[in-house]
Structure 1
Amino acid sequence: MASFHHRIKSGRKGSAKEHAAYIERLGRYSDREDLVYAGNGNMPDWTEGNPATFWKAADTYERANGAAYREHVIALPNELSLEQNCALAMRLARELVGNKPFQLAVHAPEGSLGGITNLHMHLMYSDRVPDGIGRPPERMFARYNSERPEDGGCRKDSGGRSPMVLRDQVISTRKKIADIQNQALEEHGLNARVDHRSLREQGLQRRPERHLGPARIKGMSDSEKALFATLRATGSAGGPPRSATLATS
């Protein structure tokens, strides 16, 4: 079975443009040579198609206590070719964010253990939902005016949800991601499938794989790395019960 990993993150006002440069390996991140695909969509006309302009405006005009961006970090199935995975990344972006402004990047760093490529995507998007009203950047990120939408900012598609509703939304999103990936695998004639459920929900007894982290891996000997890679391949690289995490860059 192909691996499933998904994380949801958010960034405070003032961090969006820098994070966008990070995922697209621009500026001080240009020495990282693992970017294999970049794209964006639904950008307002005033950005002229440049996502950096959008994120700079979000950093400047978003409300002080508001998130400037949200992000999905998603592992992509190694069973697909690079070209197929890049198409899958854009498909996931369109399905997950709808008509909201977004920027995505696909990274393909070589894994620290076993030499397996850790192919994954970063999907940054705005909570601001376009409604067909043209707004300059300073107004787009203003507070929404339900009585006179043209006098306020775009409505934010977040907030006001109970913890239970948020939990259900996360589960639904994870299932949607898995379904889209499985559709792509099937379309390309592959038998591999991903499963968004926990190991317990899948009825599996093995413990989640322990996330070692770059620092710990760096301190391991070659023989220790080889042993852990073997245990990983056999599904025995567990550790104390905890949620598995995706080591991304």
Structure 2
Amino acid sequence: MYYFDYAYTGKGTTKIKAKSGATKVKKAASCKNRFHYITRTAHYKNHKDNVHEKVEFVKSGNMPSFAENRPDIFWEAAHNYERKNARTAASQVIALPKELSVQQRIELAEALIKQFTHEFNFPYTAAIHNHAGEIGGQDQPHLHIMYCERSVDEHNRTAEQFFSRYNDKDPANGGAQKITPDVRGKGKTIINEMRVDTEVIINEHLEKYAPTKIVKIKGIDVEVPNSVSCLHHEDYNRINGTNLKPVPMIPKSLLRLDPNLTFKDKDKNVAYQAKLAERERAINEVNELREYNNFEMYQQYYFNELNNLRESIFNQNKDYDSPPPF
């Protein structure tokens, strides 16, 4: 299992569900904000997440002539000129294996970018972000890809024309063709296809650079095969006969509470300490579930390692008890 999110930015509105359960309507996220967020530019240059996260890699490509080497101009134009209520960008967030080096992650990112943008020459911007996990402190690298579903062809267009309606009889006098999943005859099924493609590409790079990894099970370091699966845990269980359990996501607001912070106001301090206790319970639950799932997936390797340790201890004791050879 690995994290893969697929979403859109647009010019309309979107519905969100509040904690109360009520549905609220808000303005859809814009592609220009998304661009600045993943590249950490403009108003995101000093964003609070920069304290916890670093940008390892940024790349844009397939830009039309009006925005050559200026992806900021392209995404601004998409926001300004795409029709009302239209999608302005497709967006993916993909967890990358922490066992790969920075350069190996970049190589993997390049392969994923090519997979999702090359066939139709989609304009794109991509970035790798990395931060230390709040639980355990290990690297959490992930790839952001955003791309416009308008295909760049041989015709030069102004920014406004690029985002106008496509003219199939006279392409030079219309906008760039929009090739959505529906146009490709895939609709919502494209998400599963993307997840499968991502699994294949990640596993190819793991096989090349990091075919095994070390996991801790019941206090023992165990070397296991290093691969990812696009399956939901329920599907994985059904196919492999395991009993993996879902691991909940802990909100950043809870994870980033400072355990050393106190308040002079008694009531405020009591409330904060209760939040810290909630944080500790959540972290303990996640750690327990992760170890449980590791055992479910790798128990064969755990028992093999346990037998190796026992045999090693037995041989050491045997040598110790043997009489000297003289």
TM range, smaller chain: 0.7 to 0.9
How far off is 1:64 after superposition? 0.8
What residue in structure 2 maps to residue 220 of structure 1? 276
What residue in structure 1 maps to residue 74 of structure 2? 54
Gap change, CA 1:186 and 1:50, over 3 Å in 2: same
What residue in structure 2 maps to residue 105 of structure 1? 127
What residue in structure 2 maps to residue 157 of structure 1? 179
Q: CA RMSD in A?
A: 2.3
Asked if the contact 1:102–1:125 (Cα under 8 Å) also holds between the matched residues in 2, the reply is: yes
| Pairs within 5 Å for 1:84-233 | 84-98=104-118, 99-158=121-180, 160=182, 165-191=186-212, 192-203=226-237, 204-217=242-255, 218=257, 219-221=275-277, 223-224=280-281, 227-228=284-285, 230-233=287-290
Asked if the contact 2:62–2:123 (Cα under 8 Å) also holds between the matched residues in 1, the reply is: yes
Asked if the contact 2:123–2:147 (Cα under 8 Å) also holds between the matched residues in 1, the reply is: yes
**Which structure has the highest helix share of the two?**
2
How far off is 1:23 after superposition? 0.6
Asked if the contact 1:37–1:106 (Cα under 8 Å) also holds between the matched residues in 2, the reply is: yes
Gap change, CA 1:160 and 1:95, over 3 Å in 2: closer
Deviates more, 1:132-141 or 1:196-205: 196-205
Gap change, CA 1:145 and 1:235, over 3 Å in 2: farther
Which structure exhibits the higher relative contact order, with contacts defined as CA atoms closer than 8 Å and separated by 6 or more residues?
1
Query: What amino acid maps onto 2:9 in structure 1?
Result: G
User: Normalising by structure 2, what TM-score?
Assistant: 0.67
Deviates more, 1:54-63 or 1:225-234: 225-234
Runs of 5+ consecutive residues of structure 1 not aligned to the other structure: 238-249
How far off is 1:236 after superposition? 5.5
Deviation string for 1:180-226 (max 9, x for gaps)?
00011112251311100111221232221111211233333475465
CA distance, structure 2, for counterparts of residue 210 and residue 39 of structure 1: 32
Query: What amino acid maps onto 2:159 in structure 1?
Result: P
CA distance, structure 1, for counterparts of residue 236 and residue 180 of structure 2: 30
Q: 2:276 aligns to what SS in structure 1?
A: coil
Percent of paired sites with the same residue: 27
What residue in structure 1 maps to residue 42 of structure 2? 27
